[in-house]
Amino acid sequence: MAEILADRAGVVPPRLADTMRYSALGGGKRFRPFLLIESARLFDLEADRVLNAACALEFVHCYSLMHDDLPAMDNDDLRHGQPTAHLAYDEATAILAGDALLTLAFETLSHPATHPDAAVRAELVLDLAQSAGWRGMAGGQMLDLAAETTSQASLTEIARIQSLKTGALIDYACRAGATLAAAPEADKSALESYTRALGLAFQVADDLLDAEGDAAVVGKATGKDATAGKATFVSLLGLEGARAKLRELEATAVTALAPFGESARTLAAAANFVANRRH
Amino acid sequence: MAEILADRAGVVPPRLADTMRYSALGGGKRFRPFLLIESARLFDLEADRVLNAACALEFVHCYSLMHDDLPAMDNDDLRHGQPTAHLAYDEATAILAGDALLTLAFETLSHPATHPDAAVRAELVLDLAQSAGWRGMAGGQMLDLAAETTSQASLTEIARIQSLKTGALIDYACRAGATLAAAPEADKSALESYTRALGLAFQVADDLLDAEGDAAVVGKATGKDATAGKATFVSLLGLEGARAKLRELEATAVTALAPFGESARTLAAAANFVANRRH
């Protein structure tokens, strides 16, 4: 990722490139690239063959965090334990650097170095754009902004927002790994069941962390949802109910991987990690 | 364009889709799609075959205007004679709708309906991402923001900012038309000479409009550059010098089209239009 963001030609305005690197290289779990790499590995495609696509996916995730953190959006001060980009630089630069990271994702995916077959590259671009766009992540963020001012959202609505805002890119991660490896359709379906449960588990865990977590460990502000009176899995199910839901989703995710046998043990461990993460 | 933005499935949050339509369908010269369509027509590819790509390009232009107009950027109130998106809706929605339009551009370009050959689609995506990203339009906007607070920029620097911020998408427009039509390389070169002169002419004309124009006719605030003490072609060359430069660029653009003969008369007229536009 540092390689793609290096700007060896030196033609990018330094402040813009710095902000893009600050956001993309400044930490984070790299959960989505991990999923993409492990999904490709299920079909015997090694990590070094899918790194470009994994970086592209992380760029989209990082752009979304940078824009979500803006004062006009969630107005967050802290990300991965560091000042958010609009504080470390400024608001205009954070907006532009986010735009540029999103654009770089598509530049990276469509580049011949990512995959020799143009049909695969075009499919990866189409799928990512659909997952990240108005019918996916961006739509989810819009719904989430609206939901922040209401505690009336139902469990179905909360789950729908999650499936768009967080789930869409997590689904994409596994699908892209399978696409790069030319996996059979049946295997793609099994992976989809896994990512559906995993994405939901990820959000339930996020809500639990917000309700229970320590900002110093989590790396961002906690307790925000309750303060804002926002409907979450925790406010709707209670702490115990949310924990039970999380364990159920963890089991569903692990079970969905059964067809892949032993080769899916790292993906199964990811489901355990998500259900038990403390940050 | 209205067709692509219709969201017939009704799955996009209405406020997000409305803001995207407000920005993309709310007026504007459609100059870039026009250039793409006319460039394809030079090689006998009719407009209805390139409309999707033309829409994708306009989405990128509209997203860039929406983000440039934000309070943290140029803080503009008026666009195409209407309130800017962050005033008509709100800032968070304008940021998200811009993100979603940019993403929709890549979704549209990579969709099989845009061109039957995946290699052409992947090339269109790569070229657009390079033209709009950190080494292109977004980089130009970053430089432009920095230049706004200095009257010290040289003519070379101003021309470089223009070539990135405005020129990159204008170049892309003609190149994409030629790519869609599988035009020979020599013809692409001739077109490139045309768009280089045209893009620069476009910016000189913009600076002249800002210096001389009437906001009611131009559809956005005028006189901003002088008030801000910003270096422009007008501040560096004077009104007469800028007008002379514009006429010279107009002639260069028209001359570059000579190899295409009579079939390029609409593109030649576009150069005349740019050099003489009043809005």
Closest by CA position to A37, among listed A49, A47, A24, A29: A47
Q: What is residue A63's predicted lDDT score, i.e. its pLDDT?
A: 98
What does B123-173 look like in DSSP terms, one character per residue?
HHHHHHHHHHSTTTHHHHHHHHHHHTT-S---HHHHHHHHIIIIIHHHHHH
Stretch A250-272: mean pLDDT: 96
* pLDDT tier at A1, thresholds 50, 70, 90: confident
**Once rounded to an integer, what is the mean pLDDT over residues B190-196?**
96
**Of residues A91, A107, A129, nearest to B126 (C-beta):** A107
- Categorize the per-residue pLDDT at A214 as very low, low, confident or very high, splitting at 50, 70 and 90: low
Res. B216 pLDDT band, cuts 50 70 90? low
Residue A217 banded pLDDT, cuts 50, 70, 90: low
Range with lowest mean pLDDT among A51-65, A152-166, B27-41, B233-247: A152-166
Residues of A in contact with B13 (CB under 8 A): 139, 142-143, 146
Cβ-based contacts under 8 A for chains A and B: 161
β-bridge partners, A83: A78
Task: Give the CB-side neighbour count of residue B110, counting CA atoms within 13 A.
Answer: 29
Q: Which residues of chain A neighbour B172 with C-beta distances below 8 Å? A: none
A149 touches chain B (CB under 8 A): no
From A226-230, A251-255, A273-277, the region with the lowest mean pLDDT: A226-230
Report the pLDDT value the prediction gives residue B218, as an integer from 0 to 100.
Answer: 62
A87 interface with B at CB cutoff 8 Å:
no
Question: Mean pLDDT, to the nearest integer, of B17-29?
Answer: 93
Question: Which residue in B has a C-alpha nearest to residue A94's C-alpha?
Answer: B72
pLDDT at A210: 87
Q: Architecture of B4-276 per CATH?
A: Orthogonal Bundle (1.10)
Confirm whether pTM is higher than 0.90.
Answer: yes
Calculate how close chain B gets to A83, using CA atoms only, in Å. Answer: 18
With a cut of 90, say whether residue B261 has pLDDT above it. yes
The pLDDT confidence band at residue A215, using thresholds 50, 70 and 90, is low
CB contact under 8 A, B129 and A104: yes
Q: Do A138 and B96 touch (CB under 8 A)?
A: yes
Mutate to test the interface with A, among B95, B101, B117, B131 (most CBs of A within 10 A): B95
pLDDT at A144 over 80: yes
Is the pLDDT at B62 greater than 80? The verdict is yes
Structure tokens at A184: 């059979």
Assess contact for B169 and B57: CB atoms under 8 A: yes
Predicted confidence (pLDDT) at residue B222 exceeds the cutoff of 80: no
Taking all residues of chain B, what is their mean pLDDT, rounded to a whole number?
92
- Segment A236-255 shows an average pLDDT of 95
Reported as a single tens digit per residue, the pLDDT across A181-191 is 999 999 999 99
- Residues A8-59 have pLDDT tens digits of 888 999 999 999 999 999 888 899 999 999 999 999 999 999 999 999 999 9
**pLDDT tier at B256 (50, 70, 90 boundaries)?**
very high
8 Å CB contact of B13 and A146: yes
Comparing A173 with B212, the larger pLDDT belongs to A173
Residue B110 has pLDDT above 90, yes or no: yes
Q: Which CATH superfamily is domain A14-276 in?
A: Farnesyl Diphosphate Synthase (1.10.600.10)
Q: Confidence class of residue B228 from pLDDT cuts 50, 70 and 90?
A: confident
A149 has pLDDT over 90: no
Among A105, A139, A89, A103, CA closest to A36: A105
What's the pLDDT band for B41 if we cut at 50, 70, 90?
Answer: very high
User: Do residues B258 and B189 touch, judged by C-beta distance below 8 A?
Assistant: no
ipTM of model over 0.90: yes
Q: Cβ A103–B134 below 8 Å, yes or no? A: yes
